[in-house]
Structure 1
């Protein structure tokens, strides 16, 4: 049940009727017309922009259209008033029964309430985390992991067929550095003193990897030239690091459907095939790029390179895909990887990158546009940095990692639920302050606690009602007389519940899961407000002594709130609390 979609449908049907009657000209586009909550709740339950949108193409005054539309809408039994405001805004008020039916719909559908068909089963690939397999995930990866996972769940909830994917960057020079670092730990495991040259990975996390390598091969690599052990240690170390990364992701509640290896693109003809596809479209050529804008680097010199004509698909400059020495650029395997995604039949692609990849957005979008002939959209979401604080001070680096705070550091401090929710309390491209003390506070200022407390309060009401002998079974609550929910404070909570299906659709259209966290906080606020008013107005209390029927209606409302909170938290990957401790 999406009451906003239903009323919009009523508005469109009424406009069609006006066209048929000659009150409006034919050929008008109704797509931009909306029905949504007004900015000021005092103006009504819904507002529509219909008259403002249609005035110019219809050649009429917006107020004239609004008044004619209002007169017709007022005849619908769901609408108590249709008022024209200003130059042609139309505000609607709905009957209490409309909002009461929302609670019934929530109870009937359970946590499936709000699940939509927006996606219509379209296949979407969401690639996120994709960290280099050279060490444990750090706090920046944590935000990308939470955002990507919540986005994938949101799209699934909105009716898309979602694949969660991790791209393993195991084809570059960094895995050789990893192998050399592990080899040093391997020698250390054999009792040798070692020094880590600049550029290697000195973190303690490689100590057990070196010991495991020793257990596997004994002293076979001790004193041997790099040519003997590099390839084998590189593969061994990568596998060990990916096991560590998978464990870190699992601790955060993240599970991938696909782990795709960059190394699988090399020597298999896949890079060549992708570039050949672009070449067949006249988009690969030999040329010389202009020097970088601004001050020319001293070491810059013009040289012929193999270039992708990315400017034909929205990029600022063409991009090299092969170096002058014949080796691939970093961009070439990324093109091949996305070519593979297109070949796998995805209808849309989403990449979640760290903020430092902003310069990569246009070239990657250009590549996918070219490879798919503009048929597969690519949305790239950048996640900004996270600043950690504890005891009012910046949180120090992890000794285990050597240079950064790890995902495990964060999860071990506050748990996966708090970590995930807090990471979604800001839009992905906004900086985020993560204060270990504040995220554990039991106050309204802590959104995690505030939402969890609302769910726990409902659980408490159900327990107390059962102790008082009130039937709060699923069947009893579904059969409750919801017409008893007629107080403005109760209607206000019902209105907020009614926004959930619309919120899901909006968040899915924009690929913005933080909207779910914001909504849950607002819903919790409305529920806590109703609860607190019950301290002064006894008729608003959820348990009415001596009146089981009224109690059941009010508890049904509370249960509907808990169901929507549980559904929203499920999208965010957070477990709803049954009680607060």
Structure 2
């Protein structure tokens, strides 16, 4: 149950009982009425702005209207107190019985608690990573991989029909450079002294095994083939090898895409898919022949004034029109984007989400415009930009990788600190904000390390059950008994834990709707904080401890509280892509 949505319905019914009318005799519009946690928890459990957003339309004083609404809500059996605050907020304090029943909800649903139908089965394609297949994944790809994967998980949990997709940029000049780089390593594998890698080619040692595999398969045959034929073969083998390495790197981070879409497939048959997509845009009036002004900041003498085939993207929200076909007849890179988006729309997706690096900010308006043009405005396009990640070790920048020769690889970071710290910490800042990742801090076992703090809460939950089994036996770990005894939980710390648990369904729906997966990491830390605080109270006061051998019913109730915390931590960490450990060493 989303208690905030539940009380929004109750408040609407309470307002109906007041039979309020506008001066025109109409019922008030409740669309802007919200129910949220109060900013100050001491003010209550829930707060609504109903009086303040309705007063003007009803011609009433907001505070006086709030008093009427509060009076109507006091008749609700689950409301212990309804008070008016400030200019007209209504703060609600809920009865202990309400919270005790909500614990039963968590115990009934277990790790499925918080799963929602809010998405209504809407088909969403989330494309993320989509790195050029020219080498191993580097740490710059890591944040987008985690943000995209966690977002897709949250969307699925919130009731959307989600597909995780990777776009393989296996066409274009960078693939020619890759093939020539591998040919050099192939010659090296045949025994030739290639000397220093020429500027402009990929120097990383990760290409050495690719060259060796070609030498093992073909011997010197490639050297006697026509260059075009040899390079075409090398491209195929190299892209396959690079994608196998990328899949392996991503799997180490617990990232697994369902669809890998090849850009080269769009160029097959002389670019048939691209040509069809441009024809569709032309038929809908979005394509014309014309010239573009020089880009802002570029000198006029550097600009080639020429007629091209252009996408009239300014008609659908872009700040400039975009070239599709160059003056020499070649397709632009953006033309492939047109065909790719058309393919996605043709697959029935109703929302397209792209996770890109911060350096792709210029893509936002053109891709949004393209979505409108291709779908007639029926498909939503959302682009999330991930800011830079800076690596540190004990406060000192980490700059270079031995394996790549140019950058720190994702796999090196996973091998050093582990998957879970990476996934959690990449979400512990909003994607649009820069993120500093310190190897020492993310492996530190302290409250200052969020992932340790959250996983330690999970381990503590399991330690309580181990203690209960040792002292009382396995029969005590029964959800039905826990749920039945929940009425005994009346301590303020116990109610605080339940209150935090009940925020989870709303959090899932809000994170999915706003496409902000970092909200989940923040919530898990807050839940762990509330649980640890209550645990520490039990350390000081034996009466608050979870296992009380001489009080079976209260022990059942408190074990239910611990089980519910464990369930939500397990659920949330799974969506993050991390483990909920049973113990930590």
Determine if the TM-score, normalized by the shorter chain, exceeds 0.5. Answer: yes
Distance in 1, Cα, partners of 2:21 & 2:134:
70
How many pairs were matched up?
581
Q: CA deviation at 1:272?
A: 1.1
Structure 2: gaps (5+ residues): none
Q: Are the equivalent residues in 1 in contact too, given 2:289–2:310 (CA < 8 A)?
A: yes
Q: CA deviation at 1:225?
A: 4.8
Q: Are the equivalent residues in 1 in contact too, given 2:28–2:57 (CA < 8 A)?
A: yes
Q: Does 1:469 align with 2:472?
A: yes
Q: CA deviation at 1:538?
A: 1.8
Distance in 2, Cα, partners of 1:25 & 1:314:
41
Q: Are the equivalent residues in 2 in contact too, given 1:19–1:25 (CA < 8 A)?
A: no
Q: Are the equivalent residues in 2 in contact too, given 1:118–1:505 (CA < 8 A)?
A: yes
Distance in 1, Cα, partners of 2:106 & 2:315:
49
Structure 1: gaps (5+ residues): none
Alignment partner, residue 40 of structure 2:
40
Q: Are the equivalent residues in 2 in contact too, given 1:37–1:47 (CA < 8 A)?
A: yes
State how 1:157-306 maps to structure 2 within 5 Å.
157-194=157-194, 195-222=196-223, 224-268=225-269, 269-294=272-297, 296-306=299-309
Q: Does 1:329 align with 2:332?
A: yes
Alignment partner, residue 116 of structure 2:
116
Q: CA deviation at 1:25?
A: 4.7
Q: CA deviation at 1:3?
A: 1.5
Q: SS of the residue aligned with 2:222?
A: coil
Distance in 1, Cα, partners of 2:300 & 2:482:
72
1:430 to 430, 433, 453: 433
1:417 to 406, 416, 420: 420
Measured against aligned partners, the alpha-carbon deviations of 1:445-473 in whole angstroms (never above 9, x if no partner) come to 00000000001001000000110015432
Q: Are the equivalent residues in 2 in contact too, given 1:477–1:555 (CA < 8 A)?
A: no
- For structure 1, which segment, 190-199 or 167-176, has the greater mean C-alpha deviation from structure 2 after superposition? 190-199
Q: Are the equivalent residues in 2 in contact too, given 1:480–1:556 (CA < 8 A)?
A: no
Measured against aligned partners, the alpha-carbon deviations of 1:42-86 in whole angstroms (never above 9, x if no partner) come to 111100011111122222221222111111110010001111112
Q: SS of the residue aligned with 2:163?
A: strand
Q: Are the equivalent residues in 1 in contact too, given 2:357–2:386 (CA < 8 A)?
A: yes
Q: Are the equivalent residues in 1 in contact too, given 2:442–2:449 (CA < 8 A)?
A: yes
Distance in 2, Cα, partners of 1:217 & 1:294:
50
Q: CA deviation at 1:223?
A: 5.4
Distance in 1, Cα, partners of 2:75 & 2:483:
30
Distance 1:479 1:290, change over 3 A: closer
Q: CA deviation at 1:510?
A: 0.4
Q: SS of the residue aligned with 2:18?
A: helix
Distance in 2, Cα, partners of 1:260 & 1:70:
56
Q: CA deviation at 1:130?
A: 0.3
2:560 to 556, 561, 579: 556
Distance in 1, Cα, partners of 2:199 & 2:268:
31
Measured against aligned partners, the alpha-carbon deviations of 1:291-331 in whole angstroms (never above 9, x if no partner) come to 22345343113211111011111111111111111111111
Distance in 2, Cα, partners of 1:369 & 1:21:
40
Alignment partner, residue 383 of structure 1:
386
Distance in 1, Cα, partners of 2:27 & 2:318:
37
Q: How large is the Cα RMSD of the aligned pairs? A: 1.5
Alignment partner, residue 497 of structure 2:
493
Alignment partner, residue 531 of structure 1:
535
Measured against aligned partners, the alpha-carbon deviations of 1:381-434 in whole angstroms (never above 9, x if no partner) come to 011111001132111311111100111011001111111111111011111111
Distance in 1, Cα, partners of 2:229 & 2:283:
42
Q: SS of the residue aligned with 2:476?
A: coil
Q: CA deviation at 1:531?
A: 0.4
Q: SS of the residue aligned with 1:267?
A: helix
Alignment partner, residue 440 of structure 1:
443
Q: Are the equivalent residues in 1 in contact too, given 2:479–2:560 (CA < 8 A)?
A: no
Distance 1:175 1:434, change over 3 A: same
Q: Which runs of 4+ in 1 moved over 3 A?
A: 19-25, 475-480
Q: CA deviation at 1:555?
A: 1.3
Q: Are the equivalent residues in 1 in contact too, given 2:23–2:59 (CA < 8 A)?
A: no
Q: CA deviation at 1:479?
A: 4.1
Distance in 2, Cα, partners of 1:30 & 1:112:
31
Q: SS of the residue aligned with 1:130?
A: coil
Q: SS of the residue aligned with 2:221?
A: coil
Q: SS of the residue aligned with 1:437?
A: helix
Distance in 1, Cα, partners of 2:332 & 2:62:
57
- For structure 1, which segment, 79-88 or 465-474, has the greater mean C-alpha deviation from structure 2 after superposition? 465-474
Q: CA deviation at 1:114?
A: 0.5
Distance in 1, Cα, partners of 2:29 & 2:581:
47
Q: SS of the residue aligned with 1:351?
A: strand
Q: Are the equivalent residues in 2 in contact too, given 1:99–1:491 (CA < 8 A)?
A: yes
Q: Are the equivalent residues in 2 in contact too, given 1:476–1:552 (CA < 8 A)?
A: no
